[in-house]
Structure formats: structure tokens, C-alpha cells
Amino acid sequence: MEWFDTWGLPLIVFLPLVGALVLGLIPKEKEDAVKATALLFSLVTFGLSLVAIGLFDFDLDTYNTYQFEVNTRWIPAIDSNFHLGVDGISLPLLVLSCFVTVLAVIYSWDHWEEPRNPRAFLMLMMILLTGMNGTFVALDLVLFFIFFEVVLVPMYFLIGIWGDKAPRKIPGFSRVVETRLYAAIKFFLFTLFGSAFMLLGFLALYFRSGEFGDRTFDIVELTNLGASGAFTGTFAFLVFFGLFLGFAVKVPMWPLHTWLPDAHTAAPTVGSVLLAAILLKLGTYGFVRISLPILPNEAVRWAPVIAILSAIGIIYGSLACLAQTDMKRLIAFSSVGHMGFVMLGISTLTDVGINASIIGMVAHGLITGLLFFIAGSMAHRYHTREMARLGGQMKLMPIMGGILGFTAMASLGLPGLAGFWGEFMSLVSSYNPLDGLSLTVFRSAMVAGAIGTVLTAGYMLYMLQQVNFGEPSDEWVGRNFHDVDRFEMTAWVPLIIFTVVVGFYPNLIFGVTNDVVGSLVEMAFQGGAVTAGLGG
């Protein structure tokens, strides 16, 4: 399989784009052909990502060494190379992104929001997949930036065209706008705002790297420079801040999160799923791949800030959830809290913490993705997302209700399901963060996180009580609801299975990440870690 060493990653990244072009050639009316083509391309891409797992050398665990590496000259004028590669940190996320996209295509088979047009919708999804996969494997900052931004465009259209058309009054503005437009533009501008500073940081790194040899955008080389202590002082501080803004908006971290509830709520179902499952991870991944290794000293300086913002995010997001009346918005807000745990893990700068963040990302992708699927299917049937109007779903649609109950339990971090490990390990790591970090700050964050788990349980039970239990209101009595259909089942069952499997065998993820994360922490922070200083 030598061809895979060269062609594997480019194919995983660009095959969906080819798919988008092919879709463009198929007449719009031939919907079945359109869907089949999209499914084919997403399946092949997913298959290739599985091949990557099969061929992956799990013993190669030194940080900053990549597999299936491709590195060719691309834009010589700015020393930017077409450099792709994957390691134990990006591999789970790459597979997740391909996996969820396949499920999204299957789900959308029979679920089209107005104005329908499957061809355009699926083309955008394919472009989105290219952007997401590209971001996870890019090893050149310019390339990374482009993929990172490419993601915005299809998602912008998905929200803006297929999104929620309800008129919405924006506080402080006199005019009423359509929710989808407000949300799409907010999403776009917010992210672009962050990206601008991120790009600034990239450019600064590029120019400063010239002082230590040839200027470079190469992540591998910059990582080596960073480990040798090249970037210091106010310069590095500001660069980290720039990158922080770019990534923190995407995660999103409190208080840069307000685009998220709007975008998630307004987006079409599949858009919400991909937003939650994959797009948010671009930000956290950026921290792990770029900010931490290239600017380790700054990471140490900024870590308490990140920890505090994460802790606030966990509590704030959960409390905001408790005040929601719209089910989809509640689920959207829950991401603020869950991603808070992921960022808290990263901010400890320990191997346990970063492992926590990766399994947290995967678990959030599976679980919140599933929650959005369900919320979409429910809205499709009830034509409302107001929880106060729902109720008695266990009677109306027992299977739908059962799956919702399972997923809510997974989301509140029930031990034995995937969501637990990230939260628990986040707490473990913030008990003893990297040597030198303030124990007061991190242990306070730990306590806040632990309290957050209680609040999370609170809003999830609140949602279940409103939606699933009780007697159905008169509005729904006698209505014949179609319980979960086969497309929904096909899309959801794999997510359920993985949630359970990862819950009982988290080594499925740690087996890939643990060694390389340990090596990263050793390289960047000399690995003063959770149980360091343990006598015997």
C-alpha cells in the first residue's frame, strides 16, 4: 500500500472536493443520483481514513513526527509548502470528521429543509468535509489558515439558505430580520474577526522565524523552533493572543461564544450536527497543534487565563441552558459547557489534560452530534422546538424518546459512556496542572467544573422532563407521529454504539493519543505532570 503514503492524505482531503464538482455535473432533478454520489464520495473518504488507521504506525510516538507525510513546494514566494501529515492527535479527529459526514449524508437522504435543493446542499457538505479534513492534516500555517477559512463558506450558506426563517428581533436594533440571516452573518463575521488576528499571528511567526534561518510557515519547523525557545517576550505574548482569539472564537470560549447559540439554533439539522461535532474542534485542535507546541512559554503564561475562562464557560453555559425554552438552543448552549471541559484539560498543559481534551472532543462530537440529529428530527415532526409545548414523547414516539434519553444521559457525562472520561480527566489534570501553574486557580477551576457536572445533569433532566415525560398535550393527542425512520436509525445507531464502546473502552482513543501526547508535553513543557513528584 505504498501509494497511500503519498496519496492517502491528499485523497482524504480533496476527494470530497472532487465529489462536489461531480455533483455539480449531475442534473439537479436527478436527486437519487445526487444523493448516491454524495454518499459514495463520503464513504470512500471515510474508507480511506480507516485505511489510514490500518496503516498507521502506532509505535511511532515522538511528537512532531508525522505519518503519510506529503511535503512539496507550493507558493515559493512566501515559502509556503503543501505539507500534510497525521499523528496520534489528529488521527481520531480526522476519522471522526469523515465518519460524522457519512452519517450526515445518510440522515439527510430523507430530511430536507426548505428550499430543498439536495444537490447544492450536498455540494456544500462535501466542500465542508474538505475544509475540515484539511485543517486536521495541514502542517503549513498558510494551508491551515486556508482550510480553516474554507470551512466558513459552506457553513455560512448552509445556515443562510436552509436555516430557520422565523423573524427575529435583535435587542437594540429596530429592524426585524430573519433568524438565519442574522445567525449566518454573525457566525461569519465573528469567526472572521478571530481569524484575522490568527492570521496576524501566523504572519508574525513567519517573519520572526527568519531570524533563526529561512523564513517558514512550516508547523514542524516552527514547533522545533518553539521547543528551542525561539519565541519569547512581548512578541510571543501578542502572537499567542492573536492565535488565542482565532481559536477561542471557534471553540467557542466564554465570552466569545455568542455566535454559537444563534448559529446552532438557526442552522439546518445537518449543519448543526457538523458544527457541533467537527467545527468546534477546529479551535481546540488549533490550540493543541499550534499554540502549545510553537509557543510553549506563552502557553504557560496564558494557561491560568484559559483555565478561568473555561471554568466560567462551564458554569455560565450550564446556567444559561437552564433558562432556555427552545430545545435546540439548550443543546447549543450545552456545547459552551462541554467545550469548557475540553479547554480546561488543555490549559493544564499535562498529558492527562490533553488526553482528556481529545477524548472530550471525540465524545462531544458523537454525543452532541446525535443530540442535534434528534432535535432536528423532532422539530421536523412537531414543527416547534418550544419545550413547553412538547411533552409525553415517550408515548408519542417511544423510540425517539428512548434515544433522546440515552443521549441526554451520555451528554451529562454518565460514567460508562464516552462523555465521562473527558470530564473526569479534566478534573484529574486540573488538580495537579503543570509544575509552576497556580494551584489556586486550577483547583478552583476543578471545583467549578465539578459543580458544572451537577448543573449539566440539571438541565438535561429538565429537558427530558419537559419533552419526554408527562402526558402529551392536547395539541399532539391523536396525531399519528412517525417514530424514528430507517435513515435516522442508520445514522444514529453507529453513534450510539461508539458512545458505549468508547465509554467502556476509552483506550480506543488513548491508545492512539497517549504516547504522542506524552511526547508533546515532554517536548514543550518538560512534562511536569499530574502525578509528578510522587514518591514511589
Partner 1 sequence: MGSLLFAAAEATHAGDGGWWADTAGIMLISPFVAFLLILAFGKRLRYNGAEFAIGALAINTVWAVVLFVLNMTEGVLREPVRFVVGDIGSGLTFELGWAVDGLSIMMYLLVNLVGLLVFTYAVGYMEGDRRVPWFFAAFSLFAGSMLLLVGAPNLVQLIIGWEGVGLASYLLIGFYWEDHENVNAGNKAFMVNKLADVGLLLGAVFLGVAIGSFDFAELNLAAVEGNAALSAVAIAGGALLFFGAMGKSAQFPFHIWLPDAMAGPTPVSALMHAATMVTAGIYLMARTFPLYQQMAADLRPWMVAIGTITLFAMGLLALVVDDIKKVLAYSTVSQLGYMMTAVAAGGYTAGLFHLFTHAFFKALLFLGAGSVIHAVHSNNMSDMGGLRKYMPRTYATFVIGALALAGIFPLSGFWSKDEILATLGHEGYTAVMWIAIAGAFVTAFYMTRAVALTFHGTYKGHGHPHESPPVMTVPLIALAVPSVVAGLLNIPGVSWPGIGNFTEWLAVRVVPMGDHHAEAIDFFLAGVGLLAAVAGIVLGWLIFAPDRDTQQARDRLEIPVLYPLFRRKYYMDDVALGISRFTMGPFARFVNWTNTYIIDGVVNGVGGLVYHLARFIYGGVDQRGIDGIVNGLSAAADAAGSGLRKLQTGRVQQYAASFVMGAIVLVIVFVLVR
Q: Which of 363, 367, 369, 374 has the alpha carbon at shortest distance from 488?
A: 374
Judged by CB under 8 A, the residue of 171, 211, 233, 440 near partner 1 is 171
* 148 sits near partner 1 (criterion: CB under 8 A): no
- On whether the CB atoms of residues 33 and 26 are closer than 8 A, the answer is yes
* 316 sits near partner 1 (criterion: CB under 8 A): yes
* 424 sits near partner 1 (criterion: CB under 8 A): yes
* 457 sits near partner 1 (criterion: CB under 8 A): yes
Pick 7 or 173: Cβ nearer partner 1: 173
CA angle 440/442/445 to nearest 5° reads 105
Q: How far apart are CA 272 and CA 281, in angstroms?
A: 14
* 536 sits near partner 1 (criterion: CB under 8 A): yes
Helical pair 418-431 and 351-382, crossing angle rounded to 10 deg: 140
Element (H, E) at 75: strand 67-75
In the range 186-245, which residues lie near partner 1 by CB under 8 A? 186, 188-190, 192, 195-196, 199-200, 203-204, 207
Residue 246: alpha-carbon gap to chain centroid: 14
Judged by CB under 8 A, the residue of 40, 50, 75, 170 near partner 1 is 170
* 181 sits near partner 1 (criterion: CB under 8 A): yes
Among the listed ranges 26-34, 42-50, 104-112, 451-459, the one in contact with partner 1 (CB under 8 A) is 451-459
Whether the CA torsion 268, 274, 280, 286 is positive or negative: it is negative
Pick 304 or 470: Cβ nearer partner 1: 470
* 323 sits near partner 1 (criterion: CB under 8 A): yes
Task: Tell the smallest beta-carbon distance from residue 420 to partner 1 (Å).
Answer: 8
Q: How far apart are CA 415 and CA 424, in angstroms?
A: 9
Q: How far apart are CA 365 and CA 97, in angstroms?
A: 9
Pick 157 or 231: Cβ nearer partner 1: 157
Judged by CB under 8 A, the residue of 177, 305, 379, 489 near partner 1 is 177
Among the listed ranges 22-30, 38-46, 86-94, 413-421, the one in contact with partner 1 (CB under 8 A) is 413-421
Element (H, E) at 43: helix 31-55
Task: Tell the smallest beta-carbon distance from residue 129 to partner 1 (Å).
Answer: 19
* 97 sits near partner 1 (criterion: CB under 8 A): no
Backbone angles phi, psi at 73, to 5 degrees: -65, 145
Judged by CB under 8 A, the residue of 6, 62, 507, 526 near partner 1 is 507
In the range 101-120, which residues lie near partner 1 by CB under 8 A? 115
Task: Tell the smallest beta-carbon distance from residue 395 to partner 1 (Å).
Answer: 8
**Count, residues near partner 1 per rule CB under 8 A:** 96
Q: How far apart are CA 241 and CA 230, in angstroms?
A: 17
Q: Pattern of binders to partner 1 over 39-58, x per CB under 8 A? A: --------------------
Task: Tell the smallest beta-carbon distance from residue 4 to partner 1 (Å).
Answer: 28
Judged by CB under 8 A, the residue of 324, 368, 377, 407 near partner 1 is 324
* 75 sits near partner 1 (criterion: CB under 8 A): no
Q: How far apart are CA 502 and CA 508, in angstroms?
A: 6
DSSP state of 437: S
Strand (E) positions, 89-233? Answer: 167-169, 176-178
Q: How far apart are CA 97 and CA 111, in angstroms?
A: 20
Among the listed ranges 84-92, 210-218, 223-231, 461-469, the one in contact with partner 1 (CB under 8 A) is 461-469
Pick 377 or 513: Cβ nearer partner 1: 513
* 403 sits near partner 1 (criterion: CB under 8 A): no
CA dihedral 334→335→337→338, nearest 10 degrees, is 120
- On whether the CB atoms of residues 148 and 135 are closer than 8 A, the answer is yes
